[in-house]
Chains A and B, each alone.
Chain A
C-alpha cells in the first residue's frame, strides 16, 4: 500500500489502485467494528405514574444489548405477563427504537453515568 509523500486526500474515485488488497483491508476493518462491545453500562429504572416501583433499580447491562433486551429484562423483573402493557422511555422524553443498542443510547443520552429508563403502564410521551 502506497503511503508516499505525494499521497493526498484525493477524491476516492482516483485512488484504490490495488483493489484486491484494498477490499481485504476494508473487510478487516469492518470486522473490528463488528466486535460486540462487552463493556457494561449502568441503567437506572424509574417508574412513572401508576407503574410499580422497583426496590432495586440500578442494573449493569452489557452495552451491546439491544434496547429490546432491556425491555424484556424489565418485564421479567416486574413479573409482567405477555400482553401486559409497558411503555419505556429515555429521560422522560422519547421511546427509542427497540433495535437501538444500549451502547448507542448510553453514548448519546447518559445522565451522570446512568442511562435513565422510565417505565409506565400507559403511554406517556409516546
Chain B
C-alpha cells in the first residue's frame, strides 16, 4: 500500500502545484511601472538588491526561452559534450519530444510529434541559417551532417509549427543548429577517439585572430564507424562508414554596429559504394540600425551529391545546387509593437539518374525550382511585461503548388516572473517533394512466366500541399533559479496527407503493369504533450527529465495491401512509426579530482507499425581532466542489452539494423 501511496501523493502535489499560478495573485496593473535607476543610486544598493534589478542591454530585445510563446528547448554545446554522443542525430536525443530512431549504422528516422521515417518530411532543419533538408524527399540525409560537435554553440529545437518565422517544411518542428562565433573558438583543439562501434575518429580545429576585429577558425574531422548488424541476419559485415569533412568560419566586426560572417564546409561520407558529398559557402551581414532595429542579409550556396562509387549513373544518383538569399529586419513601432519582417528567394536545381533502365527515375531528369517568400511577425504588448499577442503570417510561392499562406496567432501571459503561459493556433503546409511529384520507381519486377505484372510507383504532378492546423498551449514554471518545469500540449489536425492509390492496370489480361499512384489519401489527428524538468539539485549535480506522449490516428481513404499483407499506406503515411511514450533521465555530476560523470537512462515505447519492441537503454560517461587543457573520457553506450532494434525496414528497401552495446575512449587536448 505504501508503495502505491507515495507516487499517488506526488501526483497530487504536482496537480495542486500546477493549479498554483491560477490561484496566486498576479502582478496588478499599477505595479507594472518601471523605476529607471540612476547609477549613483545603484552604487548604494546591496548585493541582494542588485540581484533583483532587471537589466537590459542597450540594443537587443532578449527573448529568453522561458518567455517564448512556443515549445522550444535548447541543447547547449556543453550538454552535447557531457552526454558523450558522437554524432549530430544522437545529440538530438537530448531534447524532449524528439524521436531519434537509428535505422542502421548511418541512417536515422528523426521526427517531432510523429510521422517518423528515414524520409520524415515535416521538419525544417537548419545549420547557421542554411537549410539542410533535401527537397528531393523533404527530409535530411543525416549521415551527411556530421559536423564537428565541439563547434556547436547550441541546437534550438522547436516542437510544433513555426512556419511563419522559419518557412517551408516547419510543420511539426524546427531543428536549428548554431555553431560558435569564431571569437569563442580561439586556440586549438585536437581530439582522438576509438572504440567498439565508434572505431576511430579524430578532429582538429584551430582558431586565430585576423587584424583587430576579425576571427577565423578552420577544422578538419575524420571518422570510421561500424555499419550495424541487420536484424534478420547474424552476419557481421566488414562495411564501414567513412566520413571526412573540413571547413572554416570567420567573423568580423566592421564597426560597433556592423558585423559579417563567412563560413563554409566540404565533406564526403561513404558506406560501401554509396557516396554522399557536398559543400557550401555562406555569408551574412548583420547591422544594428538603431536601439530597436536590426537588419541582416544572408547569401548561401550549397551543393549536395549522392553517387554510387563504381557506377556513377546508378540508383540514388542526385546532384543538387541551391542558392539562397534572405533579408530580415526587426524594428519597434511605438512602445508596444516589435516587428520582424523578411523576404527571401531560393533556386534549387537538380540532376537525377539518367539511365531509364535503372529504378528510380525522375521525369524530367533535371529540374530547377524557385521559391519566393515574404513574412511579417508582430509581437504586440497588451499589458507591459505581462500580456503579449503575437500575430504573423508567411506567404510563399513555389513552382509546384503556387501560393501558400501560413499564419499564426499566439498569446503569451507572464503573470509573474516565475510563470509563463502561452497558447497558439497556427497553419502550416508541406509542399510536395520532387520525388512525390515526379518519381517513377519499380516496386516489383515483372515475371511473365508466372503472369506477374510490374508494379511501379508513379509520382503525381498535381499533388496539393499537406496542410495542418495546430492548436498548442504551454506552461513554464521556475520556482527558483535552479529548477524549471516546461509543459507543452498540442492538437494537430492534418489534411491532404500524401499516400498511394492503385491505378488502372494496363497491358491487357493479365496486365503487365500495375501503377501505384501518389495521391492525397489521408487525414490525421495527432495529440500529445511533452514535459521537461531541469534541476540543478546540488552545486555538483544537474538533473534533466523529459517525458513525451504522442497519439496519432490516421484515416486513410485508400488501403493498398502489399504481397506480405501489410498496408502500404500505413508505412507511407508513417502514422504508427512513432512511440507513444518516450522518457529520458540524465544526470550530470561534477566529482572531486577534476572528474565528471554522466548517467543517461532512456525509455522508448514500441513502434506498432514496424513491429519494433520497446527498449530501455543507458549511456554513461566518465571524464577526467588532470590539467585544465587535457581531458580523457570513457563512454559506454546502450549498456543495458547486447543489442536492440530502434526502427524497421521501409518500402525503399532500407533494412533495419540493430544498435549494439558499445564503448569508446577519447582524448581531447586544448592548446
Are A and B co-members of a single complex?
A: no
Residues of B within 8 A of A (CB): none
